[in-house]
Structure 1
Amino acid sequence: MRAYGTAPDGRLFRSERNDELPKPTILRAWHKARERALPPEPAATDLAASPYDLRHAGISPWLSFGVPPKQVAERAGHGLEVLFRIYAHVLSGSNDAIRALVEKGLQGDSSDTE
Structure 2
Amino acid sequence: MKYAIRRRILRTNPLPKGKDSTAATKTTNAVDERALLNPEQAAAILDWIRRRPRGGKRLHAFFATLYRCGPRPEETVAMLIHTATPEVGKQWTDTGEIREQRDMKGRAEGGTRTVPRHRALTRILRQHIADEQLQPGDLLLQGETGGILAGAVIRRAWRSARKAVLSPHVFDSPTGRRVYDTRNTRLTKWLNDGIPPAQVAGWAGNSVAVLLSSYARCISGQLRDLKQRILARGDLPDLPETG
TM-score, length-scaled by structure 1: 0.70
> 1:5, 1:102 → 2: CA distance?
54
Matched, 1:107 2:237: no
Once the 2 structures are TM-superposed, how far is the Cα of residue 51 of structure 1 from its aligned partner? Answer: 1.6
Structure 1 stretches (4+) deviating beyond 6 angstroms? none
Question: Aligned to 1:20, what secondary structure does the other structure show?
Answer: coil
> 1:9, 1:84 → 2: CA distance?
33
- 1:9-65: per-residue Cα shift (whole Å, max 9, x none)? 533x42526x32222221111101111121222112121012210111121132223
- What RMSD in Å do the two structures reach over aligned CA positions? 3.2
Paired residues in the alignment total 109
Which residue does the alignment assign to 1:16? 145
Letter in 2 for 1:48: G
| Larger CA Rg, structure 1 vs 2 | 2
Q: Structure 1 residues 109, 36: CA separation in 2 closer, same or farther (over 3 Å shift)?
A: farther
Once the 2 structures are TM-superposed, how far is the Cα of residue 98 of structure 1 from its aligned partner? Answer: 3.7
Which residues of 2 match residues 65-80 of structure 1 at below 5 A?
65-80=193-208
Q: Work out whether residues 187 and 200 of structure 2, in 8 Å CA contact, stay in contact via their aligned partners in 1.
A: yes
Which residue does the alignment assign to 1:53? 181
TM-score, length-scaled by structure 2: 0.37
Which residue does the alignment assign to 2:38? none
Q: Which structure dedicates a bigger proportion of its chain to helix?
A: 1
Q: Structure 1 residues 35, 99: CA separation in 2 closer, same or farther (over 3 Å shift)?
A: same
Whose RCO is larger (CA < 8 A, sep 6+)?
Answer: 2
Q: Work out whether residues 192 and 220 of structure 2, in 8 Å CA contact, stay in contact via their aligned partners in 1.
A: no
Which residue does the alignment assign to 1:88? 216
- 1:94-113: per-residue Cα shift (whole Å, max 9, x none)? 55654443333x239848xx
Q: Structure 1 residues 32, 63: CA separation in 2 closer, same or farther (over 3 Å shift)?
A: same
5+ residue gaps, structure 2, are 1-127
5+ residue gaps, structure 1, are none
- Give the one of 139, 147, 156 matched to 1:28: 156
> 1:108, 1:8 → 2: CA distance?
58
Q: Structure 1 residues 5, 46: CA separation in 2 closer, same or farther (over 3 Å shift)?
A: farther
Once the 2 structures are TM-superposed, how far is the Cα of residue 67 of structure 1 from its aligned partner? Answer: 1.7
